Amino acid sequence: MVDFEAVIFVIVSGAAIVGALGCVFSARVAHSLLWLMFTFFSVAAAFLMASAEMLAAIQILVYLGSVMLVVQFGVMLTRRRIQDVESLPTLNAISAVSGIGVFAFILVLLRGMMEHSMWDDASSTAPTTIAFADAIFNDWTMATIILGSLLAMAMIGASYLVRDERLVNLLWDMGAEE
Amino acid sequence: MIDPSWIAALGVILFGIGLLGTFYHKNAIVVLMCIELMLNAANLNFVAAATHYGDVDGWVFTAIAIAIAAAEVAIGLAILLSLYSTQGTISLDAARELSN
């Protein structure tokens, strides 16, 4: 008897891992971005399989819809080859060593996580979206409000950081003649 | 329903790949994307724990983390754009204004 849910999860997680590897090892930034969107879509599918439908919707709407759009703008506005900058040879060596180190780190972490005692007790039922809404707007009201003001501050700060201070544009703003 | 430990395992693998990307790349935008990948792996861990314990707080933390990631991307890209307009590049090796 084949467990179809397990098969689907293996496909979804394989897609997520392939997308993440493609994001890291793509030569072009735009391709990295597309692979990353693929990964986020797969992660949304994994959320769905954990019966977190609302989070899957948030993932697709917020991450794929707006965050990736902003990153795409960043890619368009800073279009320049990076490779012509000569990097230090020691830094390249550190990158190569860190690849091996990260691989070992993944293996150790996977082993420690899968054998952790928290998975021993029987799994209870997954929470519902109604409980989620109740928790956000009743138990975590203050956190939600602070989160909103944090987002507003971040957007104001971002627009302050990218302000244009060139004299020509300032004069044009104030209605001066060319 | 799928075993939550599998979802956490996927989170571990994605986190490792994102960590590798932050070491491997010189382009600041790709490093930012890899940080997003690691944030998403952390979200997967939250969701796995919430599903395992049947507690909704993990979902709330995930929603908060997603909103903060949006703010972080906006600030990060604003910094990168101002770096690009002053330095002409967003290579992380070339940006050493503060060290001189």
ipTM: 0.90
Nearest C-alpha neighbor of B83 from the set A30, A91, A74, A23: A74
Q: Which residue from A20, A23, A46 is facing B7, i.e. has the nearest CB? A: A46
Q: Other C-beta atoms within 10 Å of B78: how many?
A: 21
Whether residue A78 has pLDDT greater than 90: no
Alpha-carbon distance B15 to B60, whole Å? Answer: 20
Mean pLDDT, rounded, for A48-76: 89
On whether the CB atoms of residues A100 and B24 are closer than 8 A, the answer is: no
Alpha helix stretches (DSSP H) within A26-140: 29-49, 53-58, 68-77, 89-114, 129-134
Residue A178 has a pLDDT of 57
Mean pLDDT, rounded, for A47-56: 90
Joined together, the tokens standing for residue A60 give 């697709």
Alpha-carbon distance A100 to A92, whole Å? Answer: 13
State how far the alpha carbon of A39 is from the alpha carbons of A21, A35, A42, A63, A147, in Å.
9, 6, 5, 11, 26
- State whether residue A43 sits within 8 Å of chain B by CB: yes
Residue A168 has a pLDDT of 79
**pLDDT tens digits along B80-89:** 888 888 877 7
State how far the alpha carbon of B24 is from the alpha carbons of A25, A94, A107, A166, B47, in Å.
9, 9, 19, 35, 28
C-alpha count within 13 angstroms, C-beta hemisphere, residue B16: 19
At B93, is the pLDDT very low, low, confident or very high (cuts 50, 70, 90)?
Answer: confident
At B99, is the pLDDT very low, low, confident or very high (cuts 50, 70, 90)?
Answer: low
Select the more confidently predicted residue: A173 or B32. Answer: B32
- State whether residue A137 sits within 8 Å of chain B by CB: no
**pLDDT tens digits along A101-158:** 888 989 998 898 888 888 877 767 878 889 999 999 999 999 999 999 999 999 999 9
Determine the distance in angstroms separating the CA of B66 from the nearest CA of chain A, rounded to an integer. Answer: 8
Mean pLDDT, rounded, for B1-29: 88
Mean pLDDT, rounded, for A150-174: 85
- Taking CB atoms and an 8 Å cutoff, what residues of chain A touch B38? none
C-alpha count within 13 angstroms, C-beta hemisphere, residue A178: 0
Q: Which residue from B24, B34, B77 is facing A74, i.e. has the nearest CB? A: B77
**pLDDT tens digits along A4-43:** 888 999 999 999 999 999 999 888 888 999 999 999 999 9
At A73, is the pLDDT very low, low, confident or very high (cuts 50, 70, 90)?
Answer: confident
Closest residue on chain B to A24 (Cα): B21
Alpha-carbon distance B86 to A50, whole Å? Answer: 46
Closest residue on chain B to A113 (Cα): B9
Alpha-carbon distance A76 to A61, whole Å? Answer: 22
Whether residue A86 has pLDDT greater than 60: no
At B28, is the pLDDT very low, low, confident or very high (cuts 50, 70, 90)?
Answer: confident
Residues forming a β-bridge with B91: B27
Q: Which residue from B8, B33, B82 is facing A113, i.e. has the nearest CB? A: B8
Residue A88 has a pLDDT of 65
Q: Mark which residues 45-84 of A lie under 8 Å from B by CB.
A: 46-47, 49-52, 54-55, 58-59, 62-63, 66-67, 70-71, 73-75, 77-78, 80, 82
At B100, is the pLDDT very low, low, confident or very high (cuts 50, 70, 90)?
Answer: low
Whether residue B78 has pLDDT greater than 80: yes
B2 Cβ contact partners less than 8 Å away, ≥ 6 residues apart: A5, A6, A9, A49, A50
The three-state secondary structure class of A85 is coil
- Average pLDDT over chain B reads 87
